[in-house]
Amino acid sequence: MIRELKILAVVVALTLITYWGVEPYAHSQMHPHVADADYTFSDVDGLNGLKGDATAGQVLVTTNCTACHSIKSEGYPEIMDHASSAAAYGVTPPDLGSAGKLYNADYLAAYIKNPAKASEVSHKFVDGRSHPMPGYAWMQEQEIADMVAYLQSIAPEEMSNKEVYVDACQRCHSIKYADMQKGTMAAFTPDENIKAYMGKLPPDLSQHIKSRGHAYLETFINQPQKHLEGTAMPKVGLTKDSQDQVIAYLEEVGDSSKAKREELGPKFLIYLAIFAVFAFLWKSSKWRDVH
Ligand code: HEC
Ligand code: HEC
């Protein structure tokens, strides 16, 4: 009896070591660790501690930004359809109604001042090419802070995971599995435009939660250069909460059976435990006659 328990303990220990020790170790060797994104964005030239005035910011945003960007929630519709804005800028500019929530405030300020630098794609805009959004570094720092304050004041408090994805990623990426029939989850920018602008077609993200995994996405979205040096994908500048929502959306679309799987796991373990008890009792009864 004691001997059998000892054998059982050894088997259990070996199984646990394989499961929790070897597999994650192999994983970490195959996918070297990339440090987590810095959600304080302390390295960007952002607000520099200034507090903005939303009323002053409203005037600045509605005179400078709505020529390209819609702010539908405030009554500024898209001026051009997606095909025309893509033809004009290379990519359809995102609606700014949620920018104050999606993006970290310092990142947002840095992006308004210098979009290519803040999103770490300066390497693409050389030899006379310039970023389609003009930088506003010529404005006073206080005016930049005012615009950020205005964008924050109009942003919704709650957004669904899908809404965050739409405003942050859909101008470039399709996620067709989300809505195969109606095709509403195709990228806003037509393929040929975004391909010309980015140098390659951004991949459809329907399956990336499976092919790349949670941890990879978590470090990729806010620092793509660390994973793919020289990549065309801009740093997006999301807050931790918004990034979690985007990843949750990719999970809803690409791995809808996850919840079911997680529910099944414990049930299967209970089944195994009960089965083990019966197997043990059966074995004891057989051997009793032999001894
Ligand atoms: C001439 C057109 C134009 C004007 C004017 C313009 N933008 Fe943009 N903006 C763009 C385009 C195009 C993009 C998408 C660029 C990309 O994804 O590479 C963009 C992207 C953005 C983003 C997304 C940032 C991110 O990390 O994804 C924000 C926020 C933004 N603009 C804010 C503003 C604000 C605020 C103003 C006014 C101060 C403004 N823009 C003025 C064209 C413009
Ligand atoms: C301005 C366009 C643009 C925006 C906005 C954008 N991406 Fe990308 N993304 C790209 C491009 C281009 C690539 C291809 C990069 C490459 O292969 O070098 C890419 C690649 C990716 C990849 C694949 C990385 C890999 O390992 O192959 C993922 C995942 C991704 N993007 C997620 C996102 C998410 C999530 C968002 C929104 C939060 C987003 N992207 C916003 C342009 C964009």
Q: Which residues of 145-179 are buried (b: 16+ CB within 10 A; e: fewer)?
A: bbbbbbbbebbeeebebbbbbbbbbbbbbbbeebe
Q: Write the single-letter amino acid at 82.
A: H
Structure confidence at residue 89 as a pLDDT band (50, 70, 90):
very high
Is the C-beta atom of 125 inside 6 A of ligand 1?
A: no
pLDDT digits (tens, 9 = 90+) for 2-25: 888 899 899 888 888 877 777 667
- Which residue CA neighbors atom 22 of ligand 2 most closely? 203
The Cα 273–Cα 270 span in angstroms is 5
Residue with tokens 């999970």: 251
pLDDT digits (tens, 9 = 90+) for 141-173: 999 999 999 999 999 999 999 999 999 999 999
Token code pair at residue 132:
């389609």
Q: Which of 47, 58, 61, 69 to mutate to test the pocket of ligand 1 (most atoms within 8 A of CB)?
A: 69
- Which residue CA neighbors atom 42 of ligand 1 most closely? 133
Is the C-beta atom of 228 inside 6 A of ligand 2?
A: yes
- Check if the beta carbon of residue 209 is closer than 8 Å to that of residue 254: yes
Cα(236) to centroid(ligand 2), Å = 9
- Which residue CA neighbors atom 18 of ligand 2 most closely? 231
Cα(94) to centroid(ligand 1), Å = 7
Asked if pLDDT for residue 139 goes beyond 70, the answer is: yes
The Cα 200–Cα 191 span in angstroms is 9
Is the C-beta atom of 131 inside 6 A of ligand 2?
A: no
Ligand nearest to the CA of 86: 1
pLDDT digits (tens, 9 = 90+) for 249-273: 999 998 777 767 777 788 888 888 9
Q: What distance, in Å, lies between the first and last C-alpha atoms of the chain?
A: 13
